[in-house]
Structure 1
Amino acid sequence: MDRFIQLTAYVAVAEEESFARAARRLNMSAPALTRTIAALEQTLGVKLLNRTTRFVRPTEAGLRYLDDARQILARMQEADDAVIGINAAPRGHLTMTAPVLFGKLFVMPQLVSYLQTYPDMQVSALFLDRVVNMLEEGVEVGVRIGELADSSMRAIRVGSIRRVLCASPQYLAQHGTPQTPADLAQHQIIAATGVGTNTEWQFTENTQPLTIRVKPRLTVSTNDAAICAVIMHAGIARLLSYQVAAEIQQGSLQTVLSDYEPAPWPVHVVHREGRGGSARVRSLVDHLVQGLRQQTALQSVD
């Protein structure tokens, strides 16, 4: 059996964690897909997938093989792209990731523009408030906020953001404006778990780090909910500057304790392509970098 077909089938099943979904993705029948995977496991003499009535997941050996299979398929796609001159007109499918609210505000307009520019491309966007393991989850391109821990990723900086404390003018008029981080003990605190569950907030005082433990009166699971609560005068929240840039500009929110803000976080577009990369990945990375660098909400502290 054609090894390319086997690798493609295995990657699809491993990523979808389902023979049925993988079959639909590949436009194959489920029995044919099952036979293909069985033939691959028989050829290798290794069990690649654990199958139950509820899910299908790679074994330990299968995870290692999945990484190699993805790289082989990517290299084959690059070779095909190069020989037919696809660099001038990218086509195919890409998966990318970004934080939820960042994706909604900044990435989605760039993706729409990208798809209009390259009609033969398809993109799957994973907007998640967690760090996606791009290698394990089959993601080619991502937007990362904060210092990069994974040195294997190629990264292009597109701006930076701040961690800001904000409240509505009405709340501050009623409760007063905190002058130092210690004053937060006298205020109603809104904590957004999308920014982090830690109740020890970091500040900088005279270039030295300062930690203040806060006791939230309201804890919400999304940044959107925290923004709504702050706008409704419920207290002071710590958010990321881009998340409330529009509200601050409109005057419905204002920042406090700006002199004590910690160092800004960088924003990068990252990708896991090897040397050269494919036209598909390069085209999306270039499009995102150009578009995001034009966003004033990401450049105000550069």
Structure 2
Amino acid sequence: MDRFEAMSLLVAVTKHGSLSAAGRATRVPLATLSRKISDLEALLGTRLLLRTTRKITLTDAGVAYVAAARRILEEVENAEREAAGEFTAPKGELVITAPTMFGRLHVLPVIADFLTAFPEINVRLVLADRNVDLLGDHVDMAVRIGKLPDSAMVATQVGTMRTVTCASPVLLAGTGAQGAPRSPDDLFGLPCVTVDTPMPSPPWRFRHPRSGAAIDVAIVPRLAVTTPEAAAQAAVLKVGVARLLHYQVIDAVARGELQIVLDTYEAEPVPVHLVHVLRGQMPLKMRRFLDFAAPRLRQAVSGIASKR
């Protein structure tokens, strides 16, 4: 049996949570994947996975073995990079992830210039409005907007981003005497648009301009959508008030299609970082991209911040 392949498949199962999901991700037939892990268990003389109809869990031996397998696979990956010359010359494939809209508007132009400057580096750009698992998905670097809970990441801050509340001026004018909301409580009298996520929608958080105290407003949306771009467009179409990151609405505000409200109640701007996993020596392709992209993204984020 190919022990290295079996280790990789076992790690994939623990990452994706089931044999079928791991099979889809690795493009290995379910029967083949199950047999290879069974062969690995037979070779080791112990059970690594406990299979039930609901879920798969690791045995104590499996927990220890998967941790060791991850280290081994990472060392092999680094050895392959070194053999390919990635530590001595900037070349090879670089995998970057970024939020969908920010990536399209601000990261993609940087990558286009980077590819011109470094012809021996290829880039795969993964645009996703979720935090991709850098280690598990073999991603080299990510643009993250928001606070970073994971201390294992090495972060280079490139600026901060406002979270703004906005609506169509036509919608606000049509609300009669109320007009634009003067405090977060006024949102209860207005239709709102929210971005739906797999997690329960958090309240909209504001900050009192004098005391600095947090103000949470539980929003019942008139419309819930799955992307920030759709929420911004719905606001332009006068469906309701939306709360989005500044860059997501800045063009519509400049055109007069949206009006920012409650700006004195805005929460603290959130940081924007370039992040990567700490794993020993950094390949030159990553170092070159970090040095190239950081000042350009810093300039882009600063340009957004300068516009009210």
Tell me if both proteins adopt one fold, taking TM over 0.5 as the criterion.
yes
Pair 81,169 (structure 1): closer, same or farther in 2 beyond 3 Å: same
Asked if the contact 2:106–2:297 (Cα under 8 Å) also holds between the matched residues in 1, the reply is yes
Task: Map 1:111-260 onto structure 2 (within 5 A).
Answer: 111=111, 117=118, 119=120, 121=122, 123=124, 125=126, 127-129=128-130, 131-135=131-135, 138-175=138-175, 176-193=179-196, 197-213=201-217, 214-260=219-265
Distance in 2 (CA, whole Å) between partners of 1:47 and 1:108 is 46
- Give the 3-state SS of the residue equivalent to 2:201 in structure 1: coil
Alpha-carbon distance, 1:2 to partner = 6.3
SS of equivalent to 2:213? strand
Question: What displacement does 1:237 show?
Answer: 1.2
SS of residue matched to 1:208: coil
Shift of 1:301: 6.5
Query: Which stretch has the larger CA shift, 180-189 or 256-265?
Result: 180-189
Instruction: Report how far residue 147 of structure 1 moved.
Output: 1.6
Instruction: Report which stretch shifted further, 274-283 or 111-120.
Output: 111-120
Partner residue of 1:271? 276
| Contact 2:191 2:221 survives alignment (8 Å) | yes
Offset of residue 162 of structure 1: 0.9
Q: Is the contact between residue 193 and residue 240 of structure 2 (CA under 8 Å) also seen in structure 1? A: yes
Shift of 1:196: 7.2
Amino acid at match of 1:179: R
| CA deviation profile, 1:71-124 (whole Å, cap 9, x unmatched) | 323323333433553331332464x54333333333344455556645554536
Asked if the contact 2:146/2:272 (under 8 Å) is kept, the reply is yes
State the alpha-carbon separation in 2 of the partners of residues 224 and 285 from structure 1.
28
- Alpha-carbon spacing, 1:136–1:172, altered in 2? closer, same or farther (3 Å): same
Structure 2: distance between partners of 1:10 and 1:83: 26
> How much identity, in percent, do the aligned residues show?
34
Give the aligned residue type for 1:202: F
* Cross-structure match for 2:106: 106
Residue by residue, what CA displacement relative to the aligned partner does 1:115-158 show, whole Å, maximum 9, x if unpaired? 664555453625133x4444455544322222211111111112
Give 2:71's aligned residue.
Answer: 71
Aligned residues: 295
Q: Distance in 2 between matches of 1:167 and 1:20?
A: 42
- Alpha-carbon contact 1:204-1:260 (below 8 Å) kept: yes
In 1, the alpha carbon distance for the partners of 2:24 and 2:269 equals 45
Q: Match of 2:234, SS?
A: helix
In the TM superposition, residue 278 of structure 1 has moved relative to its aligned partner by 3.0
Q: List structure 1 segments (4+ residues) > 6 angstroms apart after TM superposition.
A: 29-35, 50-55
Distance 1:8 1:180, change over 3 A: closer
1:35-74 paired onto structure 2 within 5 Å: 37-48=37-48, 59=58, 62=62, 65-74=65-74
The aligned amino acid for 2:189 is Q
Cα contact 2:94–2:140 (8 A) shared by 1: no
Q: In the aligned structure 2, how far is the partner of 1:127 from the partner of 1:200?
A: 22
Provide the rounded CA distance (Å) in 1 between the counterparts of 2:84 and 2:26. Answer: 28
Query: In structure 2, the residue corresponding to 1:172 is in which secondary structure?
Result: helix
Contact 2:159 2:301 in 1 (8 A): no
How far the C-alpha of 1:231 sits from its partner, in A, is: 0.3
Structure 1 length-normalised TM: 0.76
RMSD between superposed Cα atoms in Å:
3.9
